[in-house]
Structure 1
Amino acid sequence: MCVPFAIALAVLAIELSPAHFIYTGPFLAAVPALAAVTMGPKGTTSAAALAVAISVTTATYNQAWASLQVYTNFLALALVSVAAFITSRAVRTRRRSELDQVRRIAVAAQDVILRPVPERLGPVRAASLCLAAGTGAQVGGDLYEAVRTRYGVRMIVGDVRGKGLNAMRAVAVALGAFRDAAHYEDELLEVMDHCAAALLREADVPGAFDQEALMEGFTTALMAQVPDTPVVQLINRGHPPPLLLHQGRVQALMPAEPLPPLGLEDLITDPPEKPESYPFVPGGRLLLYTDGVIEARNRDNDFFPLPEAMESIGADTTPPEFLEQLHQALIRHTEGHLADDVAMILVDRLA
C-alpha cells in the first residue's frame, strides 16, 4: 500500500535534485494507477492529489511552465487519476459483494449447526440467541445446545478458539458428541469427557485441522443439568460462569475448582468426581453465554455490564423477550459494532 506514495516521494527527490533532467512524468502517472489496485477510492484520491501537488511543485521549482511537456504530463495524470478512481470503486464493490456472499454462506452453515433450542424443555422454559460479529467473512466458534433427557435438561455453551473452517469443524464435532452422549451417559462428567475425546479424535484425523490451529486450539465449555429437583449442576471447563437471576439480583455461579478448557486435559491434576450443584428454584432465570457478550466494548473501551443489564429487565418477560432486550442493550452499548460472535441460552425454572 505504501508503494504509490514511495514512488511519488522518489519523483519529488529527483525533481528537486541536480538530476531533475530525468523525465519523471510516467512515474507520477503510475501513482494513482497503483493506488487503485491496492487501496480504495479514498486512498486513490489521496495518491492522485499527492501526484498533482508534486507535479505543480516541481514545475514551479524548475521553472518549466513554459514547456509543453508539463501540460502534457498534467493531462496524462488527470486521465489516469479519473480512470484509477473509477477502477478503485469497481474493485471495492466487487470485493464487498464477494465478501458478503462468503459471509452469507458461512452464516448459513452456522445456522444449520446451531439450531434454536425448544421453547419448553421439561421443568424449564428456554430461549437461545446467536449473533454474528458482522466483520469479515469468517464466523466464530460459538456453540450451544439444550436437550431434554431422562436425567433432566442438559445444556452446553462453548467457544472454540479461532474462526473460520477449523472452528466450525470443531463446533460440529463437539455438538455431535454432546447430542449423542447427553441421552446415554448417566453422569454429566462423562458427557463432558465424551466431547473432549471427540475433539481429540478429530484432531488426529489427517487434514481435519491445519497444524497451526491444532497446536493453538482449545475449546472452553460449560455444561449444565437441570433435574426435577430445584438445583442446577454445572461443569465448567474454562468458560465464563453462568449468571443466575432471582428476585431481581444476579449471582455468578463461579466454579469452586477451576478446570482448563477442552484440549488441555494434561493440565488437570485432580479430576472432579461430580458436578457442582447450586440452588435453582422456581422463578429463577439462568443465563449461559459466550465471552463475546461480556467482552463487548463501547467507544470508551468499557465492557458490557451484563449483570446490570439483566437486573434492569422486567421479571414478567418471557425468555425470548428477555434475550431480545439483552440483545438491544448490547447493540446500544457497542453502537452496533460487535467484535466477536455472541451466543446465549436462557432457561426459566418453572414450578
Structure 2
Amino acid sequence: MPFAIALLVVGIELSPVHFLYTGPLLTATPALAAVTLGPQGTVSAAVLALAVSVTTATYNQAWGSQQVYSNLVALLLVSVASFLLSRGVRTRTRNELNQVRRIAVAAQEVLLRPVPARLGPVRAASKYLAAETGAQIGGDLYEAVQTRYGVRMIVGDVRGKGLPAVRAAAAVLGAFREAVHYENELVEVMNHCAAALQRERAVPDAVDHDVLVEGFVTALVAQVPDGPVVQLVNRGHPPPLVLSRGRARALMPSEPLPPLGLEDFLTGPPAGAESYPFAPGDCLLLHTDGVTEARNGDDEFFPLPEAMEAVHARTPPEFLEQLHQGLIRHTQDRLADDVAMLLAVRLDEAGRDPAARNIPGPVGLIGS
C-alpha cells in the first residue's frame, strides 16, 4: 500500500491534474509502512516518498513555495516517528515470541520429558523434532517408565495439530503414566489410554466451548520384562524396529487394531500383548510416522531399516542423533511432520551391551 500510494502521487503530479494537493498522501506512506513492513520497510517507504516529493517539486517548478517545504518537514517528522514506532513494535513482538518459546520449552519438559538413560535391563534415549519452525511441542508423544512388571514404553501420534492435539497427547500420556504401575496386563494399560482420550474428547475447551478434541491417536505400548523378549500392543501405529546382529526388522502385529478413539471398529475385545525376541545387544526403536513417511526431493520415503543398519554409535543418544542427521539429509532439512523416536538397548545380566564389546572402534552401543 505505501508504494502504491507513491506511484499514485507520481501519476497525479506528472499529469494535467497536478494541481491536486498530494502532500498528505506522501506523508502517510511511512506511517502505513510502519504498521506492516517493519523498520527497514519504513525507511524504504520514507526514502521513496522523499524522492517522489523532490522529483515532483522539480518537475512542477514548485521550489520556493511554502507548501513544498511544509510537506518536506511533515514527511521528515512522520518518517522519524514511524521508524521509532516500528522498531519498538518489532522489539516488543520479539520479546513476546521469546516468552512464548520459553513457555513452550517448559511445557515440553512436562509433557515430553527426556527418558532416563538407564531403565532396568535397558539403556534408553528419546528425541523429538517439531516440523513447524519455532515449535516445541505438537501431537507426537512418548514415555518410558520402569515398573515392577518391567520397562514399559509408549509412543503415539495424535491426528491433528494445535492445542487440541496437545490436549489429546497429554490425556493419553497421563493415563499411561498412572496405569503402568498397577495394571498387570499391557492391553489394560492401552485401554486406560483409550478411556482417557474418550473423556478428554467429551470436555469442551475452557475458552472456546465449541472446540473439542477430535480425531484419533495411533499408539504403541511396549514392555521389556526380565526375559529376552519384548511385548507389544499396537493400536494402528507404525510397527517398531529391532536391530539384531546388524539387521533391522519390523515387529508387525498379527492382528491390526484401530487407533485409540476408533473403538467402534473393534470386532471384539483386544487380544493380549504379542511377544517378540529381544536379546541382549539388540536395539528397539519406537517411532512415529514422521520418520518413515519423510520424503526427499524425488518423493522417496526415508529408508529407516537401512539407516539403522548403517548407524555407528556408542550410546543411545548418539544412535538417535545419527538417525536424525540422516533424516535431515534425506529431507534437505524440510520435515513435513513431527518426529518422535524412542530407543531401547537390551543389556545382559551384568548391565552391559554385548554388541558393543564385540565390535571394535566407534561401532556399537556401549551399555556399561
TM-score range, shorter chain: 0.7 to 0.9
- Which deviates more, 60-69 or 185-194? 60-69
For 1:68 and 1:299, locate their aligned partners in 2 and report how far apart those are by CA, in whole Å.
Answer: 62
C-alpha deviation, 1:349, in angstroms: 1.8
TM-score, normalising length from structure 1?
0.81
Cα deviations by residue, 1:254-311 (Å, 9 ceiling, x for unpaired): 4455444322333445664234443323221111123444566778987655444433
Is 1:346 the equivalent of 2:343? yes
Is 1:322 the equivalent of 2:319? yes
1:244 to 237, 242, 249: 242
**Contact 1:99–1:136, Cα closer than 8 Å, also in 2:** no
- Which deviates more, 113-122 or 131-140? 131-140
The residue type paired with residue 346 of structure 2 is: R
C-alpha deviation, 1:162, in angstroms: 4.5
Structure 1 unmatched runs, 5+: none
The residue type paired with residue 47 of structure 1 is: A
C-alpha deviation, 1:198, in angstroms: 0.7
For 1:268 and 1:12, locate their aligned partners in 2 and report how far apart those are by CA, in whole Å.
Answer: 71
The residue type paired with residue 343 of structure 1 is: A
**Contact 2:221–2:234, Cα closer than 8 Å, also in 1:** yes
Alignment of 1:178-217 (within 5 A): 178-207=176-205, 210=208, 213-214=211-212, 216-217=214-215
- Which deviates more, 130-139 or 85-94? 130-139
The residue type paired with residue 46 of structure 2 is: A
Name the residue aligned to 1:20: 18
Aligned pairs, number: 348
For 2:267 and 2:154, locate their aligned partners in 1 and report how far apart those are by CA, in whole Å.
Answer: 24
Name the residue aligned to 1:80: 78
For 1:272 and 1:339, locate their aligned partners in 2 and report how far apart those are by CA, in whole Å.
Answer: 32
For 1:65 and 1:237, locate their aligned partners in 2 and report how far apart those are by CA, in whole Å.
Answer: 80
**Contact 2:281–2:346, Cα closer than 8 Å, also in 1:** yes
Alignment of 1:219-238 (within 5 A): 219-238=217-236
Structure 2 unmatched runs, 5+: 349-368
**Contact 2:205–2:211, Cα closer than 8 Å, also in 1:** no
**Contact 2:34–2:83, Cα closer than 8 Å, also in 1:** yes
Alignment of 1:113-152 (within 5 A): 113-131=111-129, 135-136=133-134, 139-152=137-150
C-alpha deviation, 1:340, in angstroms: 5.5
Q: CA RMSD in A?
A: 3.5
Cα deviations by residue, 1:194-213 (Å, 9 ceiling, x for unpaired): 11111111222343585665
Larger Rg: 2
1:253 to 225, 240, 251: 251
C-alpha deviation, 1:147, in angstroms: 1.9
Name the residue aligned to 2:359: none
TM-score, normalising length from structure 2?
0.78
For 1:201 and 1:66, locate their aligned partners in 2 and report how far apart those are by CA, in whole Å.
Answer: 78
Structure 2 SS opposite 1:282:
coil
For 2:38 and 2:236, locate their aligned partners in 1 and report how far apart those are by CA, in whole Å.
Answer: 42
**Contact 1:138–1:163, Cα closer than 8 Å, also in 2:** no
**Contact 1:203–1:209, Cα closer than 8 Å, also in 2:** no
For 1:11 and 1:269, locate their aligned partners in 2 and report how far apart those are by CA, in whole Å.
Answer: 73
